[in-house]
Amino acid sequence: MRALVGELISESPLLGVFTNYASTVVNYALALAYIILLTRFIPLTQYGYYNAMLALLSTVGLFFPTFGIDNAIAREGAMNHARGGTVYMHYSAMFALSLTLTLAYSVTGLALIPVFIKDGVPAWLMGIVAVWAVYTLIQGVNNALNFHLWAVGSVATQGIGLILGSIAFRVIEIALIVVLRNVYAIAVSYLIGQLTIAAYYMGKVRQWPSLRAGYGLIRARVKEYVNMGFQYWLAAYLGGISGTLVAYLVFKLLGASASGIYGLTLNIIGLVGNFAGSVGAVFGTVASHGYAVSLDVGSLAKDYSGGYVVVGSILALIAILLTPLAPILHVINGAYTAAVPYVMLLFATTPASVVDGVYMMYYWVTGKGWLAVERSAVGAVASVLTFIALAHLINLYAVVVANYVGVTLTLILYWLNNRPWGWRLGAVTALSLAAPMASAILYAMSDPALTWPIPQLAVLLLFTLVMLLVKPIPRRLITDAPRRLRVILTPFSR
């Protein structure tokens, strides 16, 4: 059955994971220069205002819901392709839906300008909203193009487009920060990155969607699509609103400087955190094609989560070990150096994000949407309430505690709803989460002179040794991988 899935998708799933994640690596390799320039040339308070604006704009975006229509279209389109059909009608429907919603969202975002001014954001920053509106429209087009590539299994091509977008984004960002020395440099570079992705994807898809066909498919199937995709949409909605709400609450409860620190923290942890998104995206296309031909997707989900959670943990441990070098090497400067312990502590949630990404996709593909809603509701409510309760007691550390509470509860739910995991998967997941948390907490809660770098290096080496003995990565995940990746991962496979 493994070979059958390999035939259904046009590119290697493992290569897809790493090419998708490579865009993040390239992004953050260039981001070293960005962070140096950001922390030297852009005041922390100004960066805090910028992050607060984006948080509110993102929150408002949640009021333009798809009600799961996009999820249902994606699922049906991938399965149709797996059975030998075309994705053109579904591609057109995704384009029509994305364009409509992003247009309405952009116009509403522009109407928020008086709200930002009332909240104390300087008037000269309001042009950021206009740049953001154009960025949002281009991103809507890219959503449809990205769906087309995903549905036909071109997951490595997706990753290459993201790499090119990352390079364009960061290079322009670095240049503009030197020239402009304000947050407009960041906003404009995001827009250019999306335009680069759009140009590459259009060159690969080479097929323009039909708005008429897209709207026609949606009108004909809207009730069925809502019934099919509503639960997964609601789950994603709850998760999205909790993240953006916490980001805006940081600004409202702790001030612009705390918002700036938190914004930089979120920016940096994406270096490792985006690995989870890469795994989830590739698992989604493999599982959709496999489900269409009666593959045991539950077993596949266990293999993906158990294998890639270890990779995520090792990446997190390496990132935690290296983070304190940032101020020493003047990568992070001035007041921004306060972000270091928060970055390390939130890096530790990466392994849990890998499991979350796989099982949310598993629920989506197999139609178990209400389990996804349960997971998102518990995680969202617990995280937001924990932050509100602790914000004035432990300041920005409340965000860390809120994340840890949410992560722990969602992993418990995944275990309860998908038993039996077996001792191997349970132990590997627990160790993969505990190791980076212990490494980060040792630094953050003690004298850094005594707790870095020896303890962090020891935890990394010990965890790697244990995983070499346990061999948590199933052989079928690396069988069709390029030779160099197989060489790296084979010692961890069974």
Q: What is the pLDDT of residue 423?
A: 79
What would the mean pLDDT of 29-53 be, rounded to a whole number?
Answer: 87
Q: Which residue has the higher pLDDT, 482 or 456?
A: 456
Domain holding 39, by residue range, is 2-485
Q: 360, 235 in Cβ contact below 8 A?
A: yes
Percent above pLDDT 70 for the chain: 92
CA–CA dist 39, 469 (Å, integer): 42
Q: Quickly state the pLDDT bin for 71 (edges 50, 70, 90).
A: confident
pLDDT digits (tens, 9 = 90+) for 130-158: 999 999 999 999 999 998 988 887 877 88
Q: What does the alpha-carbon distance between residue 165 and residue 139 come to, in Å, rounded to a whole number?
A: 12
Flag whether 299 is in a domain.
yes
Domain count, the chain: 1
Query: Do the domain assignments include residue 419?
Result: yes
| 492 part of a folded domain | no
> Which residues 6+ apart lie within 8 Å of 390 measured at CB?
397, 398, 401, 402
User: Which tens digits make up the pLDDT trace of 289-344?
Assistant: 788 777 888 888 888 888 889 989 999 999 999 999 999 988 898 899 999 999 99
Q: Is residue 82 part of a domain?
A: yes
Task: Give the chain's mean pLDDT.
Answer: 86
pLDDT score for 22: 62
pLDDT value, residue 176: 95
Burial class (CB in 10 A: 0-12, 13-18, 19+), 219: exposed
Task: Quickly state the pLDDT bin for 5 (edges 50, 70, 90).
Answer: very low
Mean pLDDT comparison of 133-147, 275-289, 422-436, highest-scoring range: 133-147
Give the best-scoring range by mean pLDDT among 77-81, 167-171, 190-194, 469-473. Answer: 190-194
